[in-house]
Structure 1
Amino acid sequence: MARQQRKRQISCHFCRMRKLRCNREFPCSNCTSRGVACPEPQHAATSDASAVRPAPAKKPVRPNTGDPDIQNRLERLEGLLQGLSRQLESVPELAAAQPPMASFAAPPFAPPPPPPPPPPPVFAAPVVAPSQAQAQTQTQTQTHPQTHPHHHLQAHHLQQPLPLKIQDLTNNALLVEEYCIVSKTSNSIFSDHVIFRACPIRSITQLSSFTFQSPGFSSSIALTAEPTRCIWLPNRDEADALVQKYMADISPMHHFIHGPHLRRLVTELYASLKSGSQVPVGTVVLLLAICAIVTYSWTPHDDEKKLFQDSKEANSQTLIWVKILFNLLEICQRNDHSSIECVQGLTLLTTTLFNLEGISPTARAMLARAIFLSRELGLHRIDHPDTDSFCQKYPPLTRLTAEVGRRLWWHLVGVDWMLARFPGPQEGTYLVNPNQMAVRKPANINDEDLDEDREIVDKPMDQPTIMSYSLHRIRFLELFREFTDRTTFSKPSSASQQYDTVLQMDAAIDRFMAHEASPFFRIDVKELEKLPPDDPWRSPTAIINRYMYSFYLYSQCCRLHLPYLARGTVDPAYAHSRQACLRSARIITQRVQQLVKEEVGFAHMMLRLGVAMHGLFLATIALVFDLCLTNDVADDGSRQQEVEHAWRTLENAEVQSSTVARGMNILRHIMEKYKIPFPTGVSGHHEPIQTNGHTNYIPQGQIPADAMGMPAGMPLAKPHHTEQEIEGHISKMDLEDVDWERLCWEFDAPFI
């Protein structure tokens, strides 16, 4: 009989070492009572396969789907997964960085974390987005706050996701509320019909703005006894010439229209006119606004285009296009029309009105309407992380239209913040709160680099593009908005506090020019001339951007210190303001002299631009009054030449701009009253201050009737400053104790 093989020991290691009786269950009773680890021996199995048989596998128990508890847990799990996926989709950086189940990184130089506690039940804790969890981890590591347990329960209760049924019910309830409160205008009540036709641009003034449709006219509008509004557009080749002029000479000053896209829109517009199909109204609004601003900016240098007989005829059409645009915008408001092109047209109309009237109530109303329509389109939250809500409430945006929307929105925001710096009802206030918008800054790229099929690659700020001036202007206006926020109406500040704010603003501007502004804005003219002619820094767009930057920046510096110019001549505490004001004024006059030598259309158009002329006007005021307040025989010759050159430039601009003409009349009144000598070789004669509104806004000739029910010469708005008001303010001033704040208001009055 063969000897049986001895069974192997299966007692644990601790029991064998201590000669204890092991119950051979791991962990055994001996190890458990002593708190000793009890690993299972690796040789527990015998060599006899039949001695130890595997336990039969248990049949999986299929859960009863009818159990309400299991059903609720499944719904909550689905809600958790759906909420987590939405959070990851809204933050693409998190989704691309690591998978959702990856552990969150600990703060730098943090000690190793303790062993994790036993996992809680599946639904015991809410799921938190990776960004929120990381922020919570860092906050707890740095501060270790002692929080009451009730606060943990409250946060847990707020973050606990709801089942899908409850989420859908809540969303539907909110949707019902939105439908009850927010509604679209009923087109059947307020809508008005309009037709569009094209004709030669020089015949616009002779055509009627109403027409009766004949039965043979192909249109969906039924024949009625009432006349139908007719909007006349220039012919296709003339429209292309106007668009080319706008993109080359005007758009670099405020670039929020994509050039290639604009040309495609014009092509589609005239194709619709030719085929008799529905015309895109937003494109018509934009084209009419381009017609208005281009005819206003038309100079003798542009007569070679043969579009008009001369620049006088082109300038005389500006108000006609403005009135046509007003009529179409009224129809758009009745029909509840909103589009990016419509907002772009409103923005251009606002710019034209600023040049025509100054900062008038009409211009401010158009700006407010443009901001309102931008919000209707969702331009104030293009980059909001909640993309689902954006797609449900606002029209969809492509990559191209989203970037154009960023350009347009930031331009409107900049104008809104800029107006808070000027006197008037809007002084110290603005419409757009930076905390109530979610829009990135536009990219520093040219239009050729912006396409639907390519990713947007932002260029360095030292590389000049079509957006260079706009981006610097945004940053500069952000500085002014920060100081505007410091001024409160309820607590007026003292004179010393106001001057401290002026010095702080001056220091912020100096830091901006020294460290934040692009190098090609600060380059010296002699260094610029050494560059090759085809260098991007010498392109026409870069030239316009550079001069607009100088005019705007230094005019604001000059105006900031102008109220303290006289004090700086007698009080050393204000000497810095006098030096800063005169330095800015001299830079402006030098830039004007340099611009005259440039062979660009902007040099001829400068005399009709409010921004450039306002800066030159302030510079002339500073130089003239400093020449009268101080006697520096050694330097009088050069100072006299500066004043003469600036004065002659303003005299030439009087013929081109009614705002400059009114400002020069006020300046001559003041100089005559206080016996201030006029610059040598210039005329001190002034015309009576006009009080008949805007009849003389196009000084080259009377405005013909445009067959819109408004006779020729009808004022566009009421006058803002009558002769009696201006004379009253002037009579209250004493040269020995001049109220320089009031004086600055008088000088700004023609531009407001």
Structure 2
Amino acid sequence: MLLFAIFAGSALFWTLPLLDLLKATREEAKAAFLAYSRISETILDHPARLITPSTTAIVAAGTLAHLYMNTDGFPVKVHLLRHRCLIMARELQIHRLDTFKAREERRIKGCDMIDVEVCRRAWWSMVASDWLLSFSGGSQEGAYTFQPRQMNVNLPSNTDDEYITTEGVQKEFPLTVPTSMSGFIFRVKGADLCREVIDALPSVPLDVQESSYDTVLKLDSLFQAAFDNLPPYFKLDPESIEQSKQICKEKPFISYQRLQIHFSLHSRLCRLHRPFHIESITNPKYAISHMVIIRSAHKVLELRRAMDDVNIDFKAARFGVVMNHVFSAALILALDVSFNPHASDAQAQKEKVYAAYRTLERSKEESSYLMAGVQKNLQTLMSTFQPVSSTSLEAGRPVSEIAQSLSGALDEGLATAPPSSLVTEGGYLVNDLGQEGWEKLWSEFVAVAPDLDAPQWNSLLDDVEFIL
């Protein structure tokens, strides 16, 4: 099951040199991904041979969930896979892995420390995903499963795999020293910050009271502290980048991990300040929120572009998680244009929104899977536009009419698309509308944006399903 999950990941994240070596096409790689992932899933769900809980089974199911999350978004099967991982982990008592009793048993009876270290990694991968998801928007917003007081598991060692043997970790380094696990550990730290945010703010689904702006500013300071406390090799200021050049040359993955950490933190800063963004446009009290959210939205788009220049075989455009945050940042900038249509930098802001569209458009060339989710979000956005009593576009068309005509254009585009491109996977349309259709969809959205009022924007943003 684990091998087929790894094969599926390899097929999904193909590179042109690999395809040339195998004399394979992109279409064959996509077909291989679907085949390998389904085989792995079938093994997990085989009715005649139930999977016995094990570290390997947890890693396999977790890998499969990660792949589906980045291709299908968050269908039910992703939640089921994640829950299977949690059940197996509890069966194996991994949540008590480092209690005094467990450590004494290992000391007396002996153990395979490689398995212990993998258990820590598997556990904290599940925990981090859970906490990040709780502060990412969508249906899981405001709630998490893993409670810190109900587990006793040390963080994985900050070391490289070659220093871990069955007897133990031969060399462990402080976080000032980069290893292949450094990015993982700081991802957990970022996730823990998200958990603190959820605990401090009122429950979003219940909406029992308004967020205290003082609380938001205190939480913002925690994010700023998180940036400040990063080791030099994970900072983005020119001095730190220059200082880390040799490290990135020796360990190219550090460059990507650095971008990933900042990308995640800036996405969450946008999320933190979003409830006050609209008010900040007219109320000076919330000016800090306006400054932070616009700055972080720009940073998200800048970091996404930088991911294409990382000197490793990594394709950010194939990660649904990455592209959803790009989509969110583009919406924030569109919202700002909406409420400041005559600002001196309005045209520049609009160009940034179009640039984000072009980034999404280019993703079609890398992976058609994730585009179904982005396309679905755009259609959701357009369907939420309601008539505005005294507002119309420059061309004199009401918002509702624009939405209806766009919906018709979408239907027509799908109806006339070649049959071979209309492939469904997991209940989602795995297809694009073609260059012309996508441009029309995005252009209509940007055209409508300036005529939305605050309640419409809040409704619109709440309806979009984002993932971590």
TM range (shorter): 0.7 to 0.9
Cα distance in 1 for partners of 2:12, 2:265 equals 24
Cα distance in 1 for partners of 2:79, 2:406 equals 33
Q: Give the letter aligned to residue 289 of structure 2.
A: S
Q: Give 1:590's aligned residue.
A: 302
1:748 to 454, 462, 465: 465
| 1:113-169 CA-partner distances (Å, limit 9, x unpaired) | xxxxxxxxxxxxxxxxxxxxxxxxxxxxxxxxxxxxxxxxxxxxxxxxxxxxxxxxx
Question: Is 2:163–2:169's contact at 8 Å kept on the other side of the alignment?
Answer: no
Question: Is 1:568–1:575's contact at 8 Å kept on the other side of the alignment?
Answer: yes
- The alignment status of 1:653 with 2:366, answered yes or no, reads no
Cα distance in 2 for partners of 1:633, 1:299 equals 43
Structure 2 unmatched ranges of 5 or more: 395-404, 430-447
| 1:608-651 CA-partner distances (Å, limit 9, x unpaired) | 11221122111111112212321565434543442332221012
Note the C-alpha offset of 1:496: 4.5
Q: Give 2:410's aligned residue.
A: 688
Cα distance in 2 for partners of 1:525, 1:676 equals 44
Root-mean-square deviation (CA), in Å? Answer: 3.6
Change (3 A) 1:573 1:322: same
1:735 to 434, 452, 460: 452
- The alignment status of 1:535 with 2:247, answered yes or no, reads yes
- The two structures have a TM-score, normalised by structure 1, of 0.51
Equivalent residues in 2 for 1:23-62, closer than 5 Å: none
Note the C-alpha offset of 1:592: 2.4
Change (3 A) 1:747 1:375: same
Cα distance in 2 for partners of 1:388, 1:530 equals 40
Note the C-alpha offset of 1:739: 4.5
Question: Is 2:180–2:253's contact at 8 Å kept on the other side of the alignment?
Answer: yes
Indicate the structure (1 or 2) with the bigger Cα radius of gyration. 1
Question: Is 1:559–1:618's contact at 8 Å kept on the other side of the alignment?
Answer: no
Equivalent residues in 2 for 1:44-123, closer than 5 Å: none
Q: Give the letter aligned to residue 738 of structure 1.
A: P
Q: Give 2:235's aligned residue.
A: 522
Cα distance in 2 for partners of 1:546, 1:685 equals 40
Q: Which has the higher helix share?
A: 2
Question: Is 2:97–2:152's contact at 8 Å kept on the other side of the alignment?
Answer: yes
Equivalent residues in 2 for 1:235-634, closer than 5 Å: 285-300=1-16, 302-306=18-22, 309-331=24-46, 334-387=49-102, 397-453=111-167, 455-486=169-200, 487=202, 493-497=208-212, 499-514=213-228, 516-525=229-238, 528=241, 534-536=246-248, 539-602=251-314, 605-631=315-341, 634=344
Change (3 A) 1:545 1:673: farther
Q: Which has the higher contact order (CA 8 A, sep 6+)?
A: 2
Note the C-alpha offset of 1:745: 2.3
Note the C-alpha offset of 1:549: 0.9
Task: Report the more deviating stretch, 667-676 or 468-477.
Answer: 667-676
Change (3 A) 1:362 1:673: farther
Equivalent residues in 2 for 1:692-707, closer than 5 Å: none
Q: Give 2:354's aligned residue.
A: 644
Structure 1 unmatched ranges of 5 or more: 1-284, 678-683, 704-712, 720-730
| 1:659-707 CA-partner distances (Å, limit 9, x unpaired) | 2232234446668988779xxxxxx9786379x9xxx9xx98577xxxx
Secondary structure at the residue paired with 2:234? helix
Note the C-alpha offset of 1:518: 2.0
Q: Percent identity?
A: 25
Q: Give the letter aligned to residue 299 of structure 2.
A: I
Question: Is 2:136–2:271's contact at 8 Å kept on the other side of the alignment?
Answer: no
- The two structures have a TM-score, normalised by structure 2, of 0.79
Question: Is 1:289–1:325's contact at 8 Å kept on the other side of the alignment?
Answer: yes
Question: Is 1:506–1:557's contact at 8 Å kept on the other side of the alignment?
Answer: yes
Question: Is 1:367–1:412's contact at 8 Å kept on the other side of the alignment?
Answer: yes
Cα distance in 2 for partners of 1:369, 1:436 equals 18
Cα distance in 2 for partners of 1:492, 1:565 equals 18
Q: Give the letter aligned to residue 568 of structure 1.
A: S
Equivalent residues in 2 for 1:103-252, closer than 5 Å: none
Secondary structure at the residue paired with 1:343? helix
Q: Give the letter aligned to residue 630 of structure 1.
A: N
Q: Give the letter aligned to residue 578 of structure 1.
A: H
